[in-house]
Amino acid sequence: MASMLFAGCYDAPYLPDEPNISFNRIEFVEVEGAADSLILTFNFEDGDGDIGLDIDEVYPPYHTFNYVVQERDSEYFLIEYGQLSFNEPLILATSYGGEVVLSGNYDFDQTLPEFGCADYLVTTDLNTDPLDTDQVDTFLIKKNLFNKNIYVNFYKKIRGKYQLINDDFSQGGCVEFFNSRIPVFDKENIGKTLKGNISFSMLSQGFQQTFRNDSIMMSFYIYDRNLNKSNIAETPDFVLINITRD
């Protein structure tokens, strides 16, 4: 969930096309009987105002993931879990509009990753008995970074050092983490220099259990529609009770 407040819109760009962001504030809203809300507000400026992705934009380069494939005799073949023999290089590919779209090579260290939700897609042939496990296939994939346009990381301070705790929420990639999409709020602003602030609300029933009374820090960054990455901004250290909104 995100909202945007425009501070200014200009016909003549005077800022770089790469977005620049900075921390504004962080607030926590406790909701009885439902998911609590952690609201990150940050300032932004962008030379061509191309901030935002709509939910239905799933075509390249905004697709969800790439299959990892090998080329053989001018055809592309998926890589199955546990497969030991394949032709290199392995290639990232997706299919859109009946065409295969390639997006570079798949980097790996000669050993395919162990099974996990972040690296494999489990599919079942819907024309067969869904209880027949012999019909289940597991294919190697790589999630597409540009499917989202806001990325956040949570760190807990433990004995003076920050420890990444994203997996406390995402369960190793099996549950959707808070990385998400800032929507397009006003298409007429695209192409114009834009400044303002964005409030990004993350919903979970696990904030209080995970954060407790520990000191937490967040880092975050965004992408624009042209795949330009912003700088990485950070929140100050915070304790949940100190940022709770009445």
How far is Cα 21 from Cα 112, in angstroms, rounded to an integer? 36
**CA 146 from centre of chain:** 7
Q: What is the pLDDT of residues 87-108, one digit of tens each?
A: 889 999 998 888 889 989 999 8
DSSP SS3 for 187 = helix
How far is Cα 228 from Cα 163, in angstroms, rounded to an integer? 28
Q: Is 133 or 220 the better-scoring residue by pLDDT?
A: 220
Q: What are the extents of the domains in the chain?
A: 2-56+146-243, 65-143
| 178 φ, ψ (degrees, to nearest 5) | -80, -10
80, 141 contact by CB (below 8 A):
no
How far is Cα 233 from Cα 26, in angstroms, rounded to an integer? 13
Cis-peptide into 89, omega within 30 deg: yes
**Among all chains, which residue has been given the structure tokens 């590919």?**
93
Q: What is the pLDDT of residues 64-81, one digit of tens each?
A: 999 999 998 888 999 999
Confidence check: pLDDT of 9 > 60:
no
The pLDDT of 121-147, averaged and rounded, is 76
How far is Cα 72 from Cα 88, in angstroms, rounded to an integer? 10
Percent of the chain surpassing pLDDT 70:
89
Q: What is the pLDDT of residues 136-187, one digit of tens each?
A: 789 999 999 999 999 999 999 999 999 999 988 887 677 788 999 999 987 8
Distances (CA, A) of 189 to 47, 48, 170, 193: 11, 8, 34, 8
Q: How many CA atoms lie within 13 A of 115 on its CB side?
A: 9
Q: What is the CATH number of domain 2-56+146-243?
A: 2.60.40
Q: How many CA atoms lie within 13 A of 1 on its CB side?
A: 9
- Nearest CA to 225 out of 142, 152, 144, 147 is that of 147
- Reported in sequence order, the residue ranges of the chain that DSSP labels E, i.e. its strands, are 2-10, 20-29, 36-46, 65-72, 75-78, 91-96, 99-105, 120-124, 136-143, 150-158, 161-164, 193-204, 216-222, 233-234
What pLDDT is attached to residue 4?
52
What pLDDT is attached to residue 1?
62
How far is Cα 216 from Cα 40, in angstroms, rounded to an integer? 13
Instruction: Kindly report which listed range (33-47, 109-123, 142-156, 230-244) carries the lowest average pLDDT score.
Output: 109-123
DSSP label at residue 180: B
